[in-house]
């Protein structure tokens, strides 16, 4: 563990101790525990716009935004109003509502690769269901995923690197029997040669290839154009489905997600199945998966692939998602968001250069990543070359200065439309002081 430069306030500390007695690690999702960076997690009291306040009343500029969903900032008036009105009308019915149809129509208008969508409650559930759908639709079992890509914690997807293309994955988590992941092939991200070899060996048995097109769970790594093009070509050639996990990138790197970014550069490019979450729920438990009609009609009650959910298409969550999508679809929204994000990233680069620190950064839309490395990494092993101790010093320094970035170096960062020029300037000021000391 790194030296703890953190000086937690007593209330955060007390709450953390209380939480650890009754919740494993004191948290309901592991990264929140600050295990990688050391120190005491901040317990959030409330949030507004680009900020949240912890239980001690300390304010932080928020660059996590609930890990992506809060693209409008916290407590956006139009979203709050929609959620409050929906709550009055009822929390959950277990029967269809008009708002589900509206939300799906709004998603389809942004994602021309899909004809139909099914709503679920989490990204994990959406990715898991997408795999079942791909297997059901193709009648095949095997799937490709890439080292460093996270697709939620469904058993078949909780596989890290068994490097070597003929090697089938070993489970990353206890409790996942090897036979459950025997059909999962794990390859290196951005490695065209491995990809081609894997298809040559297993192509006719592959149900799908699942990818984070701009990976946000190993910080921020783009799939290169030639790599993405080969993914598409090989899937088509072998009859495997290309599944874009856009839980993080959807409505975040662009209104139309990463697929819009790639479609702008590769002719006729589209994935076969898209998985969405995070932004489309605006901070409520909501996610989705969709595809062309012939694939989606495989789902129950139309087809043989079973999938269901008590809270799926929840009326309050759909109100939140719909109000969020309406705001971000307004003209100029993404240009403004991308501009803010770029000014942060460029400012960080300038400050690091001035301090003579090895540093590189990248962004797309409202998502960014930076590395204490001289060159942007192309895959997970390269990401892991970042100096962890330096990152942790930076993390705690920023935290002290009231700037909250992800408490682990393998996570992306998020800017919201509520981040002002002044917020970004304050962030850069804090970073530049710290860079000089690193
Ligand atoms: C967050 C995320 C998931 C999992 O979503 P949950 O809602 O946390 O289950 C899946 N895939 C990607 C790319 C993600 O970023």
Provide the pLDDT for residue 1.
40
When pLDDT is cut at 50, 70 and 90, the band that residue 158 belongs to is confident
Cα separation of the two ends of the chain: 18
Q: With 60 as the cut, is the pLDDT of residue 335 above it?
A: yes
Determine contact, residues 70/283, Cβ cutoff 8 Å.
Answer: yes
Active-site position among 54, 278, 380, 404: 278
What confidence score (pLDDT) does residue 166 get? 42
Q: Establish whether 278 is a catalytic residue.
A: yes
Ligand 1 centroid – CA 246 distance (Å)? 9
**Does residue 90 have a pLDDT over 70?**
yes
Whose Cα sits closest to atom 6 in ligand 1?
123
Q: Which helix (H) or strand (E) holds 110?
A: helix 98-110
Whole-number Å distance, alpha carbon 241 to ligand 1 midpoint, is 20
Looking at per-residue pLDDT, the higher value among 174 and 232 belongs to 232
Any atom of ligand 1 within 6 Å of the Cβ of 169: no
Is residue 60 a contact partner of residue 47, using CB atoms and an 8 Å limit? no
Band of the pLDDT at 162, cuts 50, 70, 90? Answer: very low
Determine if ligand 1 sits within 6 Å of the CB of residue 212.
yes
The 10s digit of each residue's pLDDT in 46-88 is 999 999 999 999 999 999 999 999 999 999 999 999 999 999 9
247 in contact with ligand 1, CB cutoff 6 A: yes
Instruction: Please report the pLDDT score of residue 386 as a whole number.
Output: 86
Determine whether the shortest distance from the Cβ of 12 to ligand 1 is under 6 A: no
The residues facing 370 across adjacent strands are 361
Predicted model pTM: 0.96
pLDDT at 165: 43
Residue 159's pLDDT is 83
Q: Compute, in angstroms, the gap from residue 124 CA to the centroid of ligand 1.
A: 6
- Kindly give the number of the ligand 1 atom that is closest to the alpha carbon of 216: 15
pLDDT tens-digit series, residues 354-403? 999 999 999 999 999 999 999 999 999 999 898 889 999 999 999 999 99
Q: Is 26 in the pocket of ligand 1 (CB under 6 A)?
A: no
Q: What confidence tier does 168 reach under pLDDT thresholds 50, 70, 90?
A: low
Catalytic site residue from 111, 150, 404, 410: 150
Q: How far apart are CA 48 and CA 128, in angstroms?
A: 33
- Distance separating alpha carbons of residues 426 and 336, to the nearest angstrom: 19
The pLDDT of residue 169 is above 90:
no
Give the start-end residues of each E strand in 178-281. 184-187, 206-211, 214-215, 221-222, 241-246, 273-276
Whether pLDDT at 270 is above 60: yes
**Pocket flag, ligand 1, residue 213 (CB < 6 Å):** no
pLDDT at 2 over 60: no
Length of the chain equals 438
How far, in Å, from the CA of 159 to the mean position of ligand 1? 15
| Predicted confidence (pLDDT) at residue 36 exceeds the cutoff of 50 | yes
Map out the domains of the chain with their CATH numbers.
Answer: 10-75+332-437 (3.90.1150.10), 78-328 (3.40.640.10)
Give 111's contacts (C-beta < 8 A, 6+ positions apart).
250, 256, 257, 259, 274, 276, 290
Average pLDDT, the chain: 94
Atom of ligand 1 nearest to the CA of 122: 7
Q: How far is the CA of 29 from the centre of ligand 1 (A)?
A: 12
* 112-145 burial code (b ≥16 CB/10 A, e <16): ebbebbbbbbbbbbbbbbbbbbbbbbbebebbbb
Residue 406 CA to ligand 1 center (angstroms) comes to 15
Q: What percent of the chain is predicted at pLDDT more than 90? A: 89
pLDDT higher than 90, residue 7: no
Of 6, 245, 362, 423, the catalytic one is: 245
Please give the pLDDT value at position 173: 85
Average pLDDT over residues 179-192: 94
Whether 245 is catalytic is yes
- State mean pLDDT over 111-137: 98
Is 148 close to ligand 1, i.e. is its CB under 6 Å away?
no
């Amino acid at each position: 563990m790194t030296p703890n430069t953190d000086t937690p306030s007593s209330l955060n500390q007390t709450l953390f101790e209380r939480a650890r007695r009754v919740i494993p690690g004191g948290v309901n999702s592991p990264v929140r525990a600050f295990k990688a960076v050391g120190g005491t997690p901040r317990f959030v009291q409330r949030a507004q716009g680009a900020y949240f306040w912890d239980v001690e009343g300390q304010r932080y500029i928020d660059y996590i935004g609930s890990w992506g969903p809060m693209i409008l900032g916290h407590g956006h008036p139009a979203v709050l109003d929609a959620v409050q009105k929906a709550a009055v009308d009822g929390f959950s019915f277990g029967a269809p509502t008009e708002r589900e149809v509206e939300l799906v129509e709004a998603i389809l208008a942004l994602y021309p690769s899909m004809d139909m969508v099914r709503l679920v409650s989490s990204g994990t559930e959406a990715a898991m269901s997408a795999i079942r759908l791909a297997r059901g639709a193709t009648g095949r079992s095997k799937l490709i995923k890439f080292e460093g890509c996270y697709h939620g914690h469904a058993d078949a997807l909780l596989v890290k690197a068994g490097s070597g293309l003929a090697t089938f994955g070993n489970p990353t988590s206890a409790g996942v029997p090897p036979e459950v992941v025997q059909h999962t092939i794990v390859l290196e991200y951005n490695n065209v040669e491995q990809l081609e070899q894997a298809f040559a060996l297993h192509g006719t048995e592959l149900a799908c290839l699942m990818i984070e097109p701009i990976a946000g769970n190993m910080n921020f790594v783009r799939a290169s154009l030639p790599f993405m093009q080969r993914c598409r070509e090989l899937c088509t050639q072998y009859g495997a489905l290309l599944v874009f996990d856009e839980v993080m990138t959807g409505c975040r790197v662009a209104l139309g997600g990463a697929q819009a970014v790639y479609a702008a550069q590769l002719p006729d490019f589209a994935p076969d199945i898209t998985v969405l979450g995070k932004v489309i729920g605006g901070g409520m438990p909501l996610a989705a998966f969709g595809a062309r009609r012939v694939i989606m009609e495989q789902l129950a009650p139309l087809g043989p692939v079973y999938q269901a959910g008590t809270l799926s298409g929840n009326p309050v969550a759909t109100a939140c998602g719909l109000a969020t999508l309406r705001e971000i679809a307004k003209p100029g929204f993404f240009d403004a968001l991308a501009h803010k994000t770029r000014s942060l990233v460029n400012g960080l680069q300038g400050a690091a250069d001035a301090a003579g620190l090895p540093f590189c950064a990248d962004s797309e839309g409202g998502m960014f990543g930076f590395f204490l490395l001289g060159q942007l990494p192309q895959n997970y092993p390269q990401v892991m070359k970042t100096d962890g101790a330096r990152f942790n010093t930076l993390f705690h320094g920023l935290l002290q200065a009231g700037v909250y970035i992800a408490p682990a170096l393998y996570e992306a960062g998020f800017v919201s439309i509520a981040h002002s020029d002044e917020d970004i300037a304050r962030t850069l000021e804090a970073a530049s002081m710290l860079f000089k000391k690193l």
